[in-house]
Amino acid sequence: MNLTDHKHMKIIKVKDKHEGAKKAFDLIKEALQNDAEVFGLATGSTPETLYKELRESDLDFTDKIAVNLDEYIGLSADHPQSYSTFMNDQLFKAKPFKETHIPDGLAEEQVETERYNAILDSNPIDVQILGIGTNAHIGFNEPGTPFDTDTHKVSLTDATIEANKHNFSSANDVPRFAYSMGIKSIMSAKKIILLAYGENKAEAIANTVNGPVTERVPSSILQKHPDVVLIVDEAAASKL
């Protein structure tokens, strides 16, 4: 492992997603020791090794609050491919929280975005876990999303549908829309831990760290956050 400081970003290079999970786990444990209460959580395959570490640990979240980034529109919470089901299986069944919040994929747009923004307002996030899309999206904030958005309805790009289709029978079954926390909400988190593994994330990571801060690269805004830890394996770090 080695550490590099880049602007405010602390970059931790790890061997693989297992070592990455251990580093992220240590940061979460430290946050708990410092009385963190609200955890912003992410879906996708990237945080799976971290959730395994958490499931198998003795950490206690029963008086903590989880707020997830996003959910597909059109899927009910108990749909097998919903992010709600993912979170229950990956973490919440094994590690119950006092409260868990995920956007409701069946709710009407205005009602749901207002409801979720109110949840975020009353539960300021202490630690936000993030993955990253190959096009540098964070949450489901696709390239071009204004940096000052809060929770909103997203039209998923073809690249994202392609990248996420492995969880569905075919690309046609992937929902075209999602609700996502906005970039403004993500940037309000006190601490952000961004995880990225694999060669297909290398360009997004290079643009995140060294590229211009532009809405074309949603994750580039993280350069402006005071406490970001980037945990990357060698392949994801290969273009840094």
Q: Which residues are bridge partners to 6 per DSSP?
A: 9
Kind and range of the H or E run holding 160: helix 158-164
Measure the CA dihedral 41/139/49/12, to 10°: -100
Size of the chain in residues: 240
Using CB under 6 A as the binding criterion, the count of chain residues that bind ligand GLP stands at 14
Q: Is 164 in the site for ligand GLP (CB under 6 A)?
A: yes
User: Considering the rule CB under 6 A, would residue 221 count as an interface residue with ligand GLP?
Assistant: no
- Candidate ranges 31-39, 121-129, 132-140, 144-152; the one touching ligand GLP (CB under 6 A): 132-140
* Coil vs helix vs strand at 65: strand
The CA distance from 14 to 195, in Å, is 11
**In terms of CB distance, is 63 or 171 closer to ligand GLP?**
171
Which of residues 14, 54, 69, 232 is near ligand GLP by CB under 6 A? 69
Burial 16-41 (b: 16+ CB within 10 A, else e): ebebbbebbbebbeebbeeebbbbbb
Quick one: 46 or 220, whose CB is closer to ligand GLP? 46
Q: Closest CB to ligand GLP among 62 and 172? A: 172
Active-site residue identified among 101, 137, 152, 225: 137
Instruction: For the segment 82-121, give every residue that binds ligand GLP (CB under 6 A).
Output: none
Q: Binders of ligand GLP among 1-60, rule CB under 6 A?
A: 42-46
The Cα–Cα gap between 208 and 219 comes to 5
Which residues are near ligand GLP by CB under 6 A?
Answer: 42-46, 69-70, 131-133, 139-140, 160, 164
Q: Which residues are catalytic?
A: 70, 135, 137, 142
